[in-house]
């Protein structure tokens, strides 16, 4: 039996404009730009990664840069909301910060927590949930957001399905999730130790539009597994349960398997290691075009094709109240 899934590994989305995407996730949300790489299946396009200081599994929000894809068609069969955890008591800070940066947002209360709902540069629905528990998170000292308010990685993802029964069965009978609560058409599941980082919400929406792979949508969610041995057991378990699972694919920063859950959402199970420091030291993460060894021969060509990316620094992000606070406290 494989070790149970501890929680979310990463979430991968589609952006139509990598620069605006970087400006939002670094300049507004204060995540670190931890890796500039390519989509291994479409290697003339970017795969960029944001996260905590190290891009620790559970913090990595990633994007394919596909400017020619159709525009946002979010709907059933997709992850429709990506929720990050922020410390309880931080929503006032975040609301002021977003207001100062001209980002529309609203407050919601759901189950046992308050949250801010906003949209990223491509229109993806993002939440900041005031419920932080991720002690595996490493703060990025140069973030425009002070560590006391910073995002601690993922809280949960929400997927919208036309019909939930078969997915419910896969989650609870095969993947080790348990149903914890329900509110209207929203059902909450948890895996591993439970709590923020391990939460999956499912919204059943038979009438809603069907989602399509497009700019401003989530491409897939990856779940964590500690190592290749456990990943192999998961692969066998899922095949036995009738899922069409890919072979193990080496993504260089982790190893991955992929399959669709019955509602159509693409799931990945990714190993925790080796991680983003496999080809850059921690202090240099995201500063060069990182390519797996088998793509190195194409480096010159890719450097020419891929548009430059400018990562905002604390000097360019404007209302970086956190930095001011740090200085006031004499850090």
- Identity of the residue, 143 or 158, whose beta carbon is nearer to Zn ion in the bound complex: 158
- Pick out residues in 257-296 that bind Zn ion (CB under 5 A): 268
Q: Does 12 bind Zn ion (CB under 5 A)?
A: yes
Three-state secondary structure of the chain: CCCCCCCEEEEEEEECCHHHHHHHHHHHCCCEEEEEEECCCCCCCEEEEEECCCCCCCCEEEEEECCCCCCCCCCECEEEEEEEEECCCCHHHHHHHHHHCCCCEEEEEECCEEEEEEECCCCCEEEEEECCCCCCCCCCCCCCCCCCCCCCCEEEEEEEECCCHHHHHHHHHHCCCEEEEEECCEEEEECCCCCCCCEEEEEECCCCCECCCCCCCEEEEEEEECCHHHHHHHHHHHHHCCCCCCCCEECCCEEEEEEECCCCCEEEEEEEEECHHHCCCHHHCCCCECCCHHHHHHHHHHHHHCCCCCCCCCCCCCCCHHHHHHHHCCC
Of the candidate spans 4-12, 122-130, 209-217, 237-245, the one that interacts with Zn ion by CB under 5 A turns out to be 4-12
The number of residues that bind Zn ion (CB under 5 A) is: 3
**Least distance (Å) between residue 155 CB and Zn ion:** 19
**Least distance (Å) between residue 267 CB and Zn ion:** 10
Q: Does 222 bind Zn ion (CB under 5 A)?
A: yes
- Pick out residues in 94-153 that bind Zn ion (CB under 5 A): none
- Identity of the residue, 7 or 27, whose beta carbon is nearer to Zn ion in the bound complex: 7
Q: Does 29 bind Zn ion (CB under 5 A)?
A: no
- Identity of the residue, 127 or 268, whose beta carbon is nearer to Zn ion in the bound complex: 268
- Identity of the residue, 111 or 258, whose beta carbon is nearer to Zn ion in the bound complex: 258
**Least distance (Å) between residue 62 CB and Zn ion:** 7
**Least distance (Å) between residue 254 CB and Zn ion:** 8
Residues that bind Zn ion (CB under 5 A): 12, 222, 268
């Amino acid at each position: 039996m494989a070790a149970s899934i501890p929680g979310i590994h990463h979430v991968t989305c589609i952006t139509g404009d990598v620069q605006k995407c970087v400006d939002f996730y670094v300049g507004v949300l204060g995540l670190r730009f931890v890796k500039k790489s390519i989509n291994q299946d479409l290697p003339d396009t970017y795969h960029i990664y944001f996260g905590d200081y190290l891009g620790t599994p559970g913090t990595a929000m990633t994007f394919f840069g596909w400017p020619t894809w159709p525009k946002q068609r979010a709907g059933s069969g997709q992850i429709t909301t990506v929720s990050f955890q922020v410390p309880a008591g931080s929503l006032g800070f975040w609301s002021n910060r977003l207001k100062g940066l001209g980002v529309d947002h609203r407050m919601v209360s759901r189950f046992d927590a308050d949250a801010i709902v906003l949209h990223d540069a491509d229109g993806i629905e993002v939440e900041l949930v005031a419920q932080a528990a991720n002690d595996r998170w490493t703060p990025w000292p140069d973030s425009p957001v002070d560590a006391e308010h910073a995002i601690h990685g993922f809280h949960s993802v929400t997927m919208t399905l036309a019909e939930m029964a078969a997915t419910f069965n896969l989650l609870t009978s095969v993947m080790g999730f348990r149903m914890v609560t329900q509110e209207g058409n929203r059902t909450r599941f948890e895996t591993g130790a439970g709590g923020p980082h391990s939460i999956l919400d499912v919204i059943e929406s038979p009438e809603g539009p069907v989602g399509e792979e497009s700019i401003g949508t989530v491409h897939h969610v990856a779940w964590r597994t500690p190592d290749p041995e456990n990943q192999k057991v998961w692969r066998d378990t899922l095949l036995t349960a009738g899922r069409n699972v890919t072979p193990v694919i080496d993504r260089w920063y982790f190893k991955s398997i992929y399959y669709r859950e019955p509602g159509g959402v693409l799931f990945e199970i990714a190993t925790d290691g080796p991680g983003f420091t496999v080809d850059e030291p921690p202090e240099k993460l995201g500063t060069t075009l990182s390519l797996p060894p088998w793509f190195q021969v194409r480096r010159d060509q890719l450097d020419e094709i891929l548009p430059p990316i400018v990562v905002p620094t604390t000097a360019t992000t404007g209302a970086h109240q956190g930095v001011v606070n740090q200085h006031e406290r004499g850090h």
